[in-house]
């Protein structure tokens, strides 16, 4: 095996295409010299290889994590856009009734925000309580609708096995 340091000292005196002493690997040995110094700094070939593998694995893990986070963000954005579109269309479809309901909901959320501001550091608990209350009411309404609408009742029966 040729020592990379010895080879680079022999090849730096030649003028290999005007790139003598550079790190390109076009026959002048500059790339091997850089590789040799990297291996020496790492403490040997085994540590250098494991260091490269570790860098690759960490990069792959971070890249995968970021990619998954982007996919989740795209899904959340799609759901948010769909709900916004549905809300706008519902408001348009119901006209003044939709506007009134939207106004009532806005007033209710304003009261909730003011209550959370008054609560100070316990404000998130106010939001949590309101969310639980709204979810419980929505669950009750959904159950009532699924019992009264034949198609939804059939779906409910299929899902719950009753």
pLDDT attached to residue 27: 56
pLDDT attached to residue 26: 53
Per-residue confidence band for 121, with pLDDT thresholds at 50, 70 and 90: confident
**129: in domain:** yes
The angle subtended at Cα 127 by Cα 124 and Cα 132, nearest 5°, is 125
**9: in domain:** no
**Of the segments 10-14, 20-24, 109-113, which one has the largest average pLDDT value?**
109-113
**90: in domain:** no
Q: Which region among 25-29, 88-92, 133-137 has the lowest average model confidence (pLDDT)?
A: 25-29
pLDDT attached to residue 32: 83
> What confidence tens digit (pLDDT) does each residue in 53-104 have?
888 899 999 999 988 988 888 888 888 888 888 888 877 777 777 678 788 8
Domain carrying residue 160: 95-162
Query: Quick one: tokens of 3?
Result: 């020592």
DSSP string, the chain: ---HHHHHHHHTTS-STT-TTSS--SSSSHHHHHHHHHHHHHTSHHHHHHHHHHHHHHHHHHHHHHHHHHHHHHHHHHHHHHHHHHHHHHHHHHTHHHHHHHHHHHHHHHHHHHHHHHHGGGHHHHHHHHHHHHHHHHHHHHHHHHHHSHHHHHHHHHHHT-
The number of distinct structural domains making up the chain is: 1
**17: in domain:** no
Q: Does position 136 have pLDDT exceeding 60, yes or no?
A: yes
Q: Does position 43 have pLDDT exceeding 80, yes or no?
A: yes
**130: in domain:** yes
Q: Does position 5 have pLDDT exceeding 60, yes or no?
A: no
**159: in domain:** yes
Q: Which region among 43-52, 66-75, 127-136 has the lowest average model confidence (pLDDT)?
A: 43-52
**121: in domain:** yes
pLDDT attached to residue 14: 41
**46: in domain:** no
């Amino acid at each position: 095996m040729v020592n990379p340091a010895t080879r680079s000292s022999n090849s730096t005196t030649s003028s290999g295409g005007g790139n003598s002493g550079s790190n390109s690997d076009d026959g002048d040995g500059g790339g091997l010299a850089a590789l040799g110094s990297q291996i020496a700094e790492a403490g040997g070939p085994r540590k250098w290889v494991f260091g490269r593998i570790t860098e690759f694995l960490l990069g792959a893990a971070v890249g995968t994590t970021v990619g998954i986070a982007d996919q989740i963000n795209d899904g959340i954005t799609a759901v948010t856009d769909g709900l916004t579109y549905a809300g706008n269309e519902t408001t348009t479809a119901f006209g003044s009734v939709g506007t009134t309901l939207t106004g009532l909901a806005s007033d209710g959320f304003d009261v909730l925000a003011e209550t959370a501001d008054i609560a100070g550091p316990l404000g998130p608990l106010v939001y949590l309580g309101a969310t639980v209350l709204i979810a419980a009411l929505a669950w009750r309404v959904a159950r009532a609708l699924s019992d009264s609408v034949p198609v939804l009742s059939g779906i409910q029966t299929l899902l719950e096995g009753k």
